[in-house]
C-alpha cells in the first residue's frame, strides 16, 4: 500500500495537479493538509472519476485536512482525544477546535492527516497552542499504543517542525531562536520518536527538504525545510519497503510550497506483492 502526505495549499487551486500525481505515482491513500475549503466545496468529483473516495474536514477558507483513498476507508474522527482549540482573542475555556486532524482506517492501518499549528513567533500565543497541540497528540498516541502495542499507526502531515539542523536550510530561520527550530518545538517532536515511532521516510531518504517558501527564490537556491513527515508505529514501520520525497512537484505551474512524501508498506496482500517497489 502506497501512502502519501501532501500539504496542497488549497485543493481547489491544485486539484488537477494532485489527481494527475496520484495516478502517475500509483498512490493508494493520500492525506492532505491546508485544503482551505469546507467539505461541500471540496472538488471530490475529479478524484472520484480517478477512482478515489474522499473524506474532508474543513471549517472555512483556512486549515482543513482530507483523505483520498482508492481502498475502503472508515473514518476514525475529525479530531484526536484531547486536541486543544484556538481562536485569536478568545477569552475563556474550551476555545473552538480548528480543522487540523482527520483519522481513517484503511485495511487495518490507522492513518491521521495532521496540520500542526505554525506557532507564528516564539512569544506568540500561537506557539503555546502549537506546543500544547503536539503534547496532546503525543499523550493520545502514547495511550493508543499502550492499549494496543500492535497498532499499525501512521501520523502524517505538515508538522511545522524541522527536528534536526540538517532539516533547516532557510537562512531566515536561526537555530534555537526561530519558530520550527526552537528547543521546545524539537522536544515536542522528539516525544513521538521516544514513543517508538519511526520517521519512516528518513530511513530511505536521509536528506532532502519538503517545503520551500515562494519568496526570494527559495526553491532555486534550495533554501528549504524538512517539515512534512510520516511517523509510523513499530508495528507498521517494520512493513515499510520504500519511501520518497517528490521534489519535482515543487516545479511547474502553480505548485504548492510543499511537496508530497510517500511510503510503501508491504502489508502482505497479493496486490502489494505483485507491484514493483519504487526507489
Query: What sign for the dihedral angle of Cα 103, 206, 116, 11?
Result: negative
For residue 9, pLDDT beyond 70:
yes
For residue 272, pLDDT beyond 70:
no
Q: Quick one: which of 94, 136, 140, 144 has its CA closest to 116?
A: 136
Question: pLDDT tens for residues 47-98?
Answer: 999 999 999 999 998 999 999 999 999 999 999 999 999 988 787 788 999 9
Q: How far apart are CA 49 and CA 46, in angstroms?
A: 5
Q: What is the pLDDT at residue 90? A: 83
Grid cell at residue 155: 501520523
| Averaged pLDDT score across all residues of the chain | 95
Question: pLDDT tens for residues 150-180?
Answer: 999 999 999 999 999 999 999 999 999 999 9
β 65-69/29-33 pair status: antiparallel
Q: How far apart are CA 90 and CA 97, in angstroms?
A: 12
CATH of 2-274, one of 3.90.550.10, 1.10.1740.10, 3.60.10.10, 3.40.50.1110: 3.60.10.10
Q: Give the angle 198-34-7 at the CA atoms, nearest 5°.
A: 45
Q: Quick one: which of 83, 184, 177, 88 has its CA closest to 131?
A: 184
Question: pLDDT tens for residues 108-121?
Answer: 999 999 999 999 99
pTM listed for this prediction:
0.94
Cβ count within 10 A of residue 2: 22
Amino acid at each position: 500500500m502506497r501512502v502519501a502526505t501532501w500539504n496542497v495549499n488549497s485543493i481547489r487551486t491544485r486539484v488537477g495537479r494532485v489527481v494527475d500525481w496520484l495516478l502517475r505515482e500509483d498512490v493508494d491513500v493520500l492525506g492532505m493538509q491546508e485544503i482551505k475549503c469546507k467539505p461541500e466545496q471540496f472538488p471530490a468529483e475529479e478524484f472520484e472519476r480517478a477512482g478515489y473516495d474522499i473524506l474532508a474536514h474543513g471549517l472555512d477558507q483556512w486549515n482543513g485536512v482530507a483523505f483520498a483513498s482508492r481502498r475502503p476507508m472508515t473514518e476514525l474522527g475529525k479530531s484526536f482525544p484531547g486536541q486543544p482549540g484556538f481562536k485569536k482573542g478568545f477569552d475563556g475555556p474550551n476555545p473552538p477546535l480548528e480543522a487540523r486532524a482527520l483519522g481513517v482506517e484503511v485495511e487495518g492501518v490507522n492513518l491521521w492527516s495532521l496540520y500542526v499549528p505554525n506557532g507564528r513567533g516564539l512569544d506568540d500565543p500561537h506557539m503555546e497552542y502549537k506546543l500544547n497541540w503536539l503534547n496532546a497528540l503525543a499523550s493520545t498516541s502514547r495511550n493508543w499504543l499502550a492499549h494496543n502495542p500492535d497498532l499499525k499507526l501512521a501520523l502524517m502531515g505538515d508538522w511545522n517542525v524541522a527536528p534536526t539542523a540538517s532539516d533547516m536550510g532557510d537562512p531566515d530561520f536561526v537555530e534555537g531562536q526561530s519558530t520550527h527550530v526552537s528547543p521546545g518545538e524539537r522536544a515536542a517532536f522528539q516525544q513521538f520518536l521516544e514513543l517508538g515511532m519511526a520517521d519512516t521516510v528518513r530511513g530511505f531518504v536521509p536528506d532532502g527538504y519538503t517545503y520551500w517558501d515562494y519568496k526570494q527564490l527559495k526553491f532555486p537556491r534550495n533554501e528549504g525545510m524538512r517539515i512534512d513527515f510520516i511517523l509510523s508505529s513499530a508495528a507498521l514501520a517494520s512493513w515499510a519497503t520504500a519511501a520518497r520525497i517528490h521534489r519535482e512537484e515543487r516545479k511547474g505551474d502553480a505548485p504548492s510550497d510543499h511537496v508530497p512524501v510517500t511510503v510503501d508498506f508491504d502489508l502482505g496482500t497479493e496486490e502489494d506483492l505483485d507491484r514493483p517497489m519504487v526507489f
